[in-house]
Amino acid sequence: MDLANLISQEDLIKRRSQIKKVFFYRICGAGMGPAAVLVKQAGFQVEGADSAFYPPMSTFLETTGIPLHKLDVVTPEFLKQYDLIVVGNSVSGKLDAARMIEKTGVPFTSFPSALGSLVLKEKNVIGIAGTHGKTTTTYFLTQMLESLGQNPGYLVGGIIEGRDPAKLGDKYFVIEADEYDSAYFHKISKFRLYELKNMILTSLEFDHADIFSSVEKIEDEFRAVMPNMKSTLILNQEYPSAMKLHKEYSQNSNQKWFLYGAGSETGPHNVKTFENGSEFEVKWKGETIPFKSSVVGGHNVLNITSCILYLLSEGFKVADVQKAALSIGMVKRRQEVRGKYKDMIVIDDFAHHPRAITVTLDAIHARFKGKKIVTIFEPISATARSSIFQNEFRDSLAGSDKVIIAKASIATTALGGQDLDVDKLAKEITAMGKPSQVATNLEELRTAIDKNIDQDGVLLILSNRTCLGLWESSFVQELKP
């Protein structure tokens, strides 16, 4: 590994005016594509390459006018025409491509560093961090700022109907502050490079077992940025790790700190959730303020409460913030109703962590009172495929009436972890009075679905990928409005 041409964040900021042409290597990544567009909107000439181009990212990039190339045309001589190469996290340090980039003589960096240095340095950046709720809360705050007459920039790590995943905007910039690492040469959390001025920490517990060996290692990533942030930090006090950070840093007189959560003085309190919305109260400067919103479920009430606190701390009027909270859209694959299958309501959700499963099931029960829930769970992330949460998955999935586990065929990459025992998981959930079974391929999954049809029920599909190919199969065409 030759990192002689790896440009530091500090040098990249200093040399910003000298950079004209920027090349994104593996541009179709979920973060790389939006980052490339933001760099282009910031005034740079941007091009990129990847091995293949698929919608929706390819469609999004084509609309921006960014020239796209196939990787097989990218040679050292080709790359020498650029002032900066941005390397995607999908490029392993063991690949020949990494050696080629390193030897071009062109400065290179990761997309979080490029984004922080070239785009975000002069913005009022609000990082939405945490184990759960990052994408949703990023979108919530973006919508509320727009309702308040602002033109916020944003980067949302999910698909939003009728909206690009990123926009440069004006004063405010809301970004999903991911704790996952940045590149083979930047083995630090992305949010450490985003030049954050503010942070909302929605939650903090162990995840990403392929990167971190303990929750303390994740806490350390936050310790690297919190002391240097210039403005507001809002933490959910329901998480012990978040409270450790609060105890360590909240005495900084240059920062404003706020805590929220059901057990906090702030709230949300008196939460009532219905099929089409929620009501709750937030305490601000000694006043109890009522709110109504279209968001459903206790966890989404928590998410929107964090946004409310930030907006009130920025000086927006209470009445205006109340109005901004009323009508809020959701990111796709977050409690998204996809239609009906044989009269069962089908819901697609991204939950893949035990706590996320619990709060999602709570929201579905509140939204569809009295209906039986058949849950399909695909444990596909490195952490979910491991035995780390064996018992926690049992307890969270038991909130369903029936469970189908879609078994992934790939072993976990969790550090020192063993594979999740899905047969044991199904057996133990069944012993708790909730019939459960395992499906190992799409055919078995379809058979299991058909055997568990409840015409007055909900089919909840929990997966952060395709669920054994279900979402790419004829199942989608069979859904009815």
**Residue 103, pLDDT score:** 94
User: What pLDDT score was predicted for residue 156?
Assistant: 85
SS (H, E, C) the chain: CCCCCECCHHHHHHCHHHCCEEEEECCCCCCHHHHHHHHHHCCCEEEEEECCCCCCHHHHHHHHCCCEEEHHHCCHHHHCCCCEEEECCCCCCCCHHHHHHHCCCCCEEEHHHHHHHHHHCCCEEEEEECCCCHHHHHHHHHHHHHHCCCCCEEECCCCECCECCEECCCCEEEEECCCCEEECCEEEEHHHHCCCCEEEECCCCCCCCCCCCCHHHHHHHHHCCHHHCCCEEEEECCCHHHHHHHHHHCCCCCCEEEEEECCCCCECEEEEEECCEEEEEEEECCEEEEEEECCCCHHHHHHHHHHHHHHHHCCCCHHHHHHHCCCCCCCCCCCEEEEEECCEEEEEECCCCHHHHHHHHHHHHHHCCCCEEEEEECCCCCCCCEHHHHHHHHHHHCCCCEEEEECCCCCCCCCCCCECCHHHHHHHHHHCCCCEEEECCHHHHHHHHHHCCCCCEEEEEECCCCCCCHHHCCHHHHCEC
Write down the pLDDT at residue 412: 83
Per-residue pLDDT of the chain (481 residues; tens, 9 = 90+): 889 999 999 999 999 999 999 999 999 988 899 999 999 999 999 999 999 887 778 888 888 899 999 999 999 999 999 999 999 999 999 999 999 999 999 999 999 999 999 999 999 999 999 998 898 999 999 999 999 999 999 998 766 777 888 999 999 999 999 998 999 999 999 999 999 999 999 999 988 777 888 899 999 999 999 998 989 999 999 999 999 999 999 987 789 999 999 999 999 999 998 878 999 999 999 999 999 999 988 889 999 999 999 999 999 999 999 999 999 987 666 788 899 999 999 999 888 889 889 989 988 998 888 899 999 999 988 888 988 889 999 999 999 999 999 998 888 887 877 899 999 999 999 999 999 999 999 999 999 999 998 888 999 999 988 999 999 999 999 999 8
* pLDDT of res. 429: 97
Residue-level pLDDT at 158: 64
pTM, rounded to two decimals? 0.84
Quick one: pLDDT at residue 16?
95
